[in-house]
């Protein structure tokens, strides 16, 4: 059921109190003794950003009408053997009403793995949702799904797109699910390990509220951290591990370039240390592109200046950059050889044939999961399945060690399962 603080007079609806039994009915927050507004009424501070809600407020819940019909999947290529196995696992879990986790490396082709399950759900007349952290990926995935399910209505839902009418599948940012109550039979949650979902009780609550009581949450993730592993074990959730990419080539390992006084070179001397300069020049000479990750926006600006002064054409982007989409497009169109980015682009972006440099890789913002995601940007195309991932750092950190171990573990597992074709280089 879709939920609103204001009433649509043409649609029949159910009305509930905004706060009942000391719990916010919109976001599930447990009201504390100190949560009183200026009129001494209990209010919810947790979901205030979606409209003020106190004990005098009411919520209107509407049934979303969807036509039940026969749906078709239009797939003009075959899934890899590994994708087929994962797809069958998911379908089995869904048909037998069991929770599950899909633990697949970056570039495994997770979307393709969902098709059969989505088709099954559509033909059951189920309410289906794909919840994704980022708006740009929501838009891209909506278009992809619409091609695969040409007779179904697929709608995107984010801050600037709120129309869910007649949709068979909703592709939504996680935050927009606050407007739903026991709506979905299945929510496929992508990047369950990532910001903003990881460790966020608010988003956890609204996802669970949006599910029907018998509905399933299917979590998909490239990495599984300790709390998630504990929860999977405690709730006895079945996990399918897919350690190989769809193109049957191994994951590339991190290469470490030790650089002393990296900070000082870039910030104060406004120049590039030799290992970095030589690497960039080699890439340029061989007409390759690189995405250069930096820990902060300021670092990006320092690096952009130092690179420009050394004769390297580059642009830098960060989350608040109003021109970021244009700059990313220029990089995608190969008009710029180097794009500097904060962790903004650690996930979701797919550009053929790029290499990755991670600057000041020992910075605490680069945890193991971030490093793995950034490395996942290389080798995503079957014609260029490999790329360099170079960490420029003054020292090794536990995060770097763990990220290297992850790559080794996944490659070893993929060999054991017969999911990669090529010989593995020394790890």
Minimum distance of Zn ion from residue 22's CB (angstroms): 12
SS3 of 356-384: the string is EEEECCCCCCCCHHHHHHHHCCCCCECCE
Total Cβ atoms within 10 A of residue 104: 24
Pick between residue 48 and residue 151 the one whose CB is nearest to Zn ion. 48
The stretch near Zn ion (CB under 5 A) out of 23-31, 56-64, 152-160, 278-286 is 23-31
Pick between residue 59 and residue 228 the one whose CB is nearest to Zn ion. 59
d(Cα 267, Cα 276) in Å, to the nearest integer? 14
- Token output for 4: 């609103």
100 binding Zn ion? (CB under 5 A): no
Element (H, E) at 154: strand 154-157
Cross-strand pairs, 30: 23
- Binding-site member from 1, 19, 27, 187 for Zn ion (CB under 5 A): 27
- Binding-site member from 2, 35, 42, 46 for Zn ion (CB under 5 A): 46
Considering only residues 199 to 238 of the shown chain, the ones binding Zn ion according to CB under 5 A are none
Angle at 300 (CA atoms; ends 394, 313), nearest 5 degrees = 105
- Binding-site member from 1, 13, 19, 47 for Zn ion (CB under 5 A): 47
Pick between residue 46 and residue 343 the one whose CB is nearest to Zn ion. 46
Minimum distance of Zn ion from residue 174's CB (angstroms): 15
Pick between residue 30 and residue 165 the one whose CB is nearest to Zn ion. 30
Minimum distance of Zn ion from residue 37's CB (angstroms): 13
d(Cα 124, Cα 94) in Å, to the nearest integer? 11
Contact 422, 244 (CB under 8 A): no
x/- site string to Zn ion, residues 264 to 303, per CB under 5 A? ----------------------------------------
Under DSSP, the state recorded for 14 is E
The stretch near Zn ion (CB under 5 A) out of 40-48, 64-72, 197-205, 370-378 is 40-48
Minimum distance of Zn ion from residue 131's CB (angstroms): 18
Q: 323 exposed, middle or buried (CB, 10 Å; 0-12, 13-18, 19+)?
A: exposed
57 binding Zn ion? (CB under 5 A): no
The stretch near Zn ion (CB under 5 A) out of 9-17, 28-36, 385-393, 417-425 is 28-36
- Binding-site member from 1, 18, 26, 115 for Zn ion (CB under 5 A): 26
- Binding-site member from 1, 2, 29, 110 for Zn ion (CB under 5 A): 29
Pick between residue 29 and residue 392 the one whose CB is nearest to Zn ion. 29
Minimum distance of Zn ion from residue 57's CB (angstroms): 10
Pick between residue 24 and residue 194 the one whose CB is nearest to Zn ion. 24
24 binding Zn ion? (CB under 5 A): yes
**In 3D, which of 390, 366, 170 has the Cα closest to residue 277?**
390
Contact 354, 361 (CB under 8 A): no
377 binding Zn ion? (CB under 5 A): no
Minimum distance of Zn ion from residue 4's CB (angstroms): 14
CB-based contacts of 387: which residues, under 8 Å, 6+ apart? 252, 353, 354, 355, 356, 378, 379
- Binding-site member from 44, 292, 419, 420 for Zn ion (CB under 5 A): 44
- Whether the upstream peptide bond of residue 244 has omega within 30° of 0, thus cis, is no
Pick between residue 26 and residue 377 the one whose CB is nearest to Zn ion. 26
Considering only residues 137 to 196 of the shown chain, the ones binding Zn ion according to CB under 5 A are none
* β-strands 389-393, 255-258 pairing: parallel
Pick between residue 43 and residue 254 the one whose CB is nearest to Zn ion. 43
**Total residues contacting Zn ion (rule CB under 5 A)?**
7
Neighbour-count burial for 395-422, b at 16+ CB within 10 Å, e otherwise? eebebbeebbebbeebbebbeeeebbee
Which is it for the CA torsion 324, 327, 368, 89, positive or negative? Answer: positive
Which is it for the CA torsion 306, 309, 313, 319, positive or negative? Answer: positive
Pick between residue 28 and residue 295 the one whose CB is nearest to Zn ion. 28
Minimum distance of Zn ion from residue 96's CB (angstroms): 34
- Binding region for Zn ion (CB under 5 A): 24, 26-27, 29, 44, 46-47
């Amino acid at each position: 059921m879709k939920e609103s603080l204001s009433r649509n007079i043409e649609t029949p609806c159910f009305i509930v109190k905004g706060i009942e039994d000391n719990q916010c009915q919109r976001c599930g927050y447990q009201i504390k003794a100190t949560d009183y507004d200026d009129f001494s009424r209990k209010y919810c501070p947790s979901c205030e950003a979606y409209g003020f809600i106190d004990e005098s407020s009411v919520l209107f819940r509407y049934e979303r009408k969807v036509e039940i019909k026969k749906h078709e999947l239009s797939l003009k290529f075959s899934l890899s053997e590994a994708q087929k196995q994962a797809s069958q696992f998911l379908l089995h879990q869904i048909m037998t009403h069991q929770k599950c986790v899909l633990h697949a490396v970056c570039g495994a082709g997770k979307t393709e793995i969902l098709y059969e399950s989505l088709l099954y759900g559509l033909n059951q007349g189920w309410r289906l949702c794909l919840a994704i952290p980022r708006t740009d990926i929501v838009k891209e995935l909506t278009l992809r799904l619409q091609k695969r399910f040409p007779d179904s209505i697929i709608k995107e839902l984010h801050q600037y797109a709120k129309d869910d009418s007649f949709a068979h599948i909703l592709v939504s940012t996680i935050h927009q699910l606050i407007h739903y109550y026991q709506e979905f039979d299945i929510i496929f949650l992508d990047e369950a390990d990532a910001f903003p979902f990881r460790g966020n009780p608010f988003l956890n609550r609204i996802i669970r509220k949006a599910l029907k009581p018998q509905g399933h949450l299917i979590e998909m993730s490239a990495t599984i951290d300790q709390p998630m592993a504990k929860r999977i074990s405690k709730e006895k959730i079945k996990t399918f591990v897919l350690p190989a990419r769809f193109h049957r080539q191994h994951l590339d390992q991190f290469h470490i370039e030790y650089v002393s006084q990296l900070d000082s070179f870039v910030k104060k001397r406004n120049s590039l240390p030799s290992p970095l300069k030589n690497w960039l020049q080699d890439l340029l000479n061989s007409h390759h592109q690189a995405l250069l990750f930096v820990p902060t926006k300021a670092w990006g600006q320092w690096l952009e200046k130092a690179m420009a002064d050394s004769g390297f054409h580059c642009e830098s982007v960060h989350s608040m950059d109003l021109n970021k989409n244009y700059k990313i497009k220029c990089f995608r169109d190969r008009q710029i050889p180097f794009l500097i980015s904060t962790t903004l682009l650690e996930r979701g972006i797919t550009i053929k044939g790029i290499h990755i440099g991670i600057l000041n890789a020992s910075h605490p913002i680069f945890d193991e999961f971030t490093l793995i995601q950034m490395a996942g940007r290389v080798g995503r195309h079957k014609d260029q399945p490999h790329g360099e991932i170079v960490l420029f750092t003054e020292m090794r950190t536990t995060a770097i060690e763990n990220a290297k171990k992850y790559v080794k573990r996944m490659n070893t597992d993929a060999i054991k399962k017969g999911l990669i074709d090529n010989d593995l280089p020394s790890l």
